[in-house]
A and B are shown apart, each in its own frame.
Chain A
């Protein structure tokens, strides 16, 4: 059910996005940084699902909060003539890698355990047969 909803959301979003009017160039920088922030939240959400402490409220607030905060910071940086968005990108992309590493470890552990247990079972079966 959840996966179907996500899939439908992606498809509708893609269709709408393809037919949407283009945004002004000066705003596209803000949109880009908010996309990175939102992607970071998504990977954070996947990692928390793997860890088993996923909370929808925290996920949603993080998704929108991060996006808005990053836009505000980028705007502030533009006013102050400091490239604050670089810091935001470093943080978000760094976190993405950390979260991906968590997911990867989880699945690698899971599969190695599975293979091990299968081997153990096979040996047990063999021993039984020899008896």
Chain B
């Protein structure tokens, strides 16, 4: 009789554990999404849809990354017996680095631009515009920056910095204030970039908060889009 009671107690305990565990996990999941319930049924449905697509995208992207890793391994194995292919491999790696398809690090500067929120007069001059970002990127390139990213969007040959209503798009991804522009290159270019009459000086005059600092160890992530070659052909 006593052992039976013990059995019942243990079973019920385990079941309660499972139930409470599930409830807390669910609570955490819904809280983490921070989805303030929309005002309409339709809005909620759309939100649901977006979240599901995003999750699918993340999963497929992870798959892609795995596949790339696999490919890299296969390549390593296949070239390990051949000197010329080792050389080719090195070349390929270098080219990928130039194109922005690999994570890179090195010395350089970090520029942080913030919209002017203290000004009492609401004016377009208080905001950082797409043109400002273009000008800053241009200036960095002019100063020999070898890798640039804006809010972790890598600047590659096909990158467009555009205005999309109230937000700015870089590589078709939305970025917003504060804009963190990382550039790998000679860190002394800070003097050039900060010169009076330069674009950053101009932005400071408008009241936009500009923060520039040198760093010995900047990490810039790779471009996570796709470079296409549908129309270009190499001339032999």
> Which residues on A are within 8 Å of B, measured CB to CB?
1-2, 4-6, 8-10, 12-14, 16-18, 20, 22-26, 28, 31-32, 34-35, 38-39, 42, 56, 60, 63
* Also in contact, A1 and B11, with CB within 8 A (given A12-B17, A23-B25): no
Interface residues on B, range: 20 to 34
Q: Which B residue sits closest to A57, measured CB to CB?
A: B11
CA distance A28 to B203 in the complex (A): 46
Q: B-side binding surface: helix, strand, loop or mixed?
A: helix
Which residues from chain B contact A18 at a C-beta distance below 8 Å?
24, 28
Q: Which A residue sits closest to B16, measured CB to CB?
A: A9
Query: Is B14's CB within 8 Å of the partner chain A?
Result: yes
By the criterion CB–CB under 8 Å, are B13 and A9 in contact? yes
Total A-B contacts with CB atoms under 8 angstroms apart: 98
Which residues from chain B contact A23 at a C-beta distance below 8 Å?
25-26, 29
* Also in contact, A17 and B16, with CB within 8 A (given A22-B28, A25-B29): no
By the criterion CB–CB under 8 Å, are A38 and B13 in contact? no
Given A13-B20, A25-B52, 13 other A-B residues pairs in contact with their CB atoms under 8 A:
A2-B8, A5-B13, A5-B16, A10-B16, A17-B20, A17-B24, A17-B28, A22-B29, A23-B26, A24-B55, A26-B52, A31-B25, A34-B22
CA distance A4 to B25 in the complex (A): 23
Chain A: minimal CB distance from B112 (Å): 31
By the criterion CB–CB under 8 Å, are A14 and B29 in contact? no
Q: Which of B1-58 contact A (CB under 8 A)?
A: 5-30, 32-33, 51-52, 55
**Contact among A4, A22, A38 for B32, CB-based, below 8 A:** A22
Chain B: minimal CB distance from A103 (Å): 17
